[in-house]
Copies of this chain bind each other. A is one copy, B any other.
Amino acid sequence: MKSYIQEHIDAFIEKNKNKGRLLIKCPDQPGIVSAMSLFLKQNGANIIESNQFTTDHEGGTFFIRMEFECPDLQEKGQRLENQFREIAESFSMDWEIHFLHDVKKTAIFVSKELHCLRELLLEWQSGDLMTDVVVVISNHEECRGIVESFNIPFYYIPANKDIRKEVEAKQLQLLEDYEVDLIVLARYMQILTPEFVAAHKAQIINIHHSFLPAFIGANPHKRAFERGVKLIGATAHYVTNDLDEGPIIEQDIIRVNHRDNVEDLKKKGRSVERSVLARGVKWALEDRIIVYENKTIVL
């Protein structure tokens, strides 16, 4: 099966090798778009997609995502990046440049509930999540079969709070070995330490099985049942050191009613967790998300 996915990746690179993306956050002032578009024009690049946003209070902050196409980008990328630095400095930009030929490497963490993992692998196999899933790590053995059937390296690292330090050391080593860009917690039911969150460059996306900020913490479906809500939800968010308090990327809900017991809520919840996490991961892979004031701008 691996070869099938590799074909998707190769086809993607071939089709998009001259494409890049600029993600920018800076104080608002006239002339930013003008400078950026002039820069791209001078480098023979054409803007394919451009989305911007400015906060509406005084002294606003400006955000832009520009996707562009530039002949021979694989050769010229580094030079482009260097040249852009000057513009970036003159506008005090926080900025990133991404080249689509550098396909991101993703690690998935999972525990016993496998629906989110399965969804990600299914979308990935269809070519709908453009990434290289380089490793799956779990504190349980349940998913070994499915992961290995995709020819993805699987690591079983038993975890509990007493050995958290050793566990995270092993995990960090794997993240380094596999040069991971993005970590997805696909219902990984262990809490990560601040040290882990701070230790590496990869962004971490978690799926929480409620519409945050309702039902922060454990057992949201049981608490939703007890409160008698008519909707249950799911939230994909970046992980920070505050439990379930990181910037929200995407949320959605599904309708429930008095006939649904806790088990039914869990079942219905799975379908919405799957789609919310898949959308959030997709946007991250497409460099659409800028974090600002503990919120996300999705461009």
Contact check, B258 vs A231: say whether CB atoms are below 8 A apart: no
- A278's closest neighbor in chain B, by CB? B271
Q: Tell me the bound Cα distance from A186 to B213 in angstroms.
A: 25
Contact check, B251 vs A229: say whether CB atoms are below 8 A apart: yes
Interface size class of A (residues with CB under 8 A): 35 or more
Choose, from A41-49, A79-87, A89-97, A198-206, the stretch at the interface.
A41-49
> Please, which residues of chain B bring their CB within 8 A of the CB of A296?
228, 258
Q: Would you call A102 an interface residue if the criterion is a C-beta within 8 Å of the partner chain's C-beta atoms? A: no
Contact check, B52 vs A50: say whether CB atoms are below 8 A apart: yes
- A295's closest neighbor in chain B, by CB? B228
Q: Tell me the bound Cα distance from A53 to B51 in angstroms.
A: 10
Q: Would you call A33 an interface residue if the criterion is a C-beta within 8 Å of the partner chain's C-beta atoms? A: yes
Q: Would you call A72 an interface residue if the criterion is a C-beta within 8 Å of the partner chain's C-beta atoms? A: no
- Of the residues B29, B231, B250, B257, contact of A298 by C-beta under 8 Å: B257
Q: How far is the CB of A188 from chain B (nearest CB, A)?
A: 18
Contact check, A267 vs B212: say whether CB atoms are below 8 A apart: no
Q: Tell me the bound Cα distance from A247 to B229 in angstroms.
A: 9
Q: Would you call A30 an interface residue if the criterion is a C-beta within 8 Å of the partner chain's C-beta atoms? A: yes
Contact check, A267 vs B229: say whether CB atoms are below 8 A apart: no
**A213-B214, A214-B214, A275-B271 known; A253+B228 contact, CB < 8 A:** no
> Please, which residues of chain B bring their CB within 8 A of the CB of A38?
34, 38
Q: Tell me the bound Cα distance from A77 to B298 in angstroms.
A: 33
**A48-B54, A230-B251 known; A258+B298 contact, CB < 8 A:** yes
Q: How far is the CB of A147 from chain B (nearest CB, A)?
A: 12
Chain A 106-143 interface 0/1 with B at a Cβ cutoff of 8 Å (1 = within): 00000000110011001001101000000000000000
> Please, which residues of chain B bring their CB within 8 A of the CB of A31?
37, 41
Q: Could you say which of A37, A40, A233, A270 has the most chain B C-beta atoms within 10 Å of its C-beta? A: A37
Supply 8 A–B pairs (Cβ within 8 Å), ascending by A.
A28-B46, A33-B33, A34-B38, A37-B37, A149-B149, A212-B227, A213-B215, A229-B251
